[in-house]
């Protein structure tokens, strides 16, 4: 189990007796359920990719679907190896993952993946009886943490090769100074 009882607090003059709990990485039962849903996650991710408008030839879903299995492996590996106490992975928001030119095909790829993984996690949680709300929220937080860490790394690597990167930064600076 990923939840450990840590300490019992009993202050008879103030608060009533309570317990503190330590929450670890995504619960084993949810990891197993997500792993069992992997084919559905992959299919949903592909459907979401195909629904998006193609912004560049590299954003063609036929080119991106080849990354799905590797990315799912990375997500599950990251989820299973998250530490229980310290978080070396900073919690990124989608706003932290940027591309100066906005044409990186991995932006829509990871947005579609995030939606597919979140939908599957929510379905797994709905099937789990007596799931604590804190555990439920923690699992979603851990999933987003893992996905956005991988997305930021991969999008940054792709952007480092972009020929439009410097031009987009110069145009952005020029517009800032013009205002």
CA distance 159 to 157: 5
Residue entry with tokens 């993946």: 113
Tokens of 8: 């019992």
Residue entry with tokens 């995504």: 26
12 pLDDT more than 60:
no
Q: What does the DSSP assignment read for 64-104?
A: HGGGHHHHHHHHHHHHHH--SS---S----GGGS--SSS--
pLDDT at 84: 56
pLDDT in tens, 88-100: 455 555 555 667 7
- Computed on alpha carbons and rounded to an integer, the radius of gyration of the chain in Å comes to 20
CA distance 68 to 173: 35
Is 124 within 8 Å of 30 (Cβ atoms)?
A: yes
24 pLDDT more than 60:
no
Q: What is the pTM of this model?
A: 0.72
Residue entry with tokens 């590996």: 77
pLDDT in tens, 62-121: 999 999 999 999 999 998 887 654 444 555 555 556 677 777 889 899 999 999 999 999
């Amino acid at each position: 189990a990923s939840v450990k009882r840590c300490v019992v607090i009993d202050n008879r003059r103030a608060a009533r007796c309570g317990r503190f709990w330590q929450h670890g990485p995504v619960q084993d039962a949810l990891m197993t359920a997500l792993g069992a849903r992997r084919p559905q996650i992959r299919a949903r991710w592909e459907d979401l990719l195909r629904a998006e408008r193609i912004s560049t030839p590299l954003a063609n879903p036929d080119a991106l679907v080849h990354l799905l299995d590797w990315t799912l492996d990375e997500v599950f590996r990251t989820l299973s190896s998250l530490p229980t106490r310290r978080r070396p992975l900073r919690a990124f928001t989608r706003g932290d993952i940027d591309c100066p030119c906005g044409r990186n095909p991995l932006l829509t790829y990871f947005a579609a993946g995030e939606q597919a993984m979140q939908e599957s996690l929510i379905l797994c949680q709905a099937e789990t009886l007596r799931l604590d709300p804190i555990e439920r929220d923690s699992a979603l937080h851990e999933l987003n943490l893992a996905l956005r860490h991988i997305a930021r790394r991969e999008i940054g690597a792709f952007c480092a090769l972009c020929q439009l990167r410097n031009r987009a930064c110069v145009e952005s600076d020029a517009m800032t100074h013009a205002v």
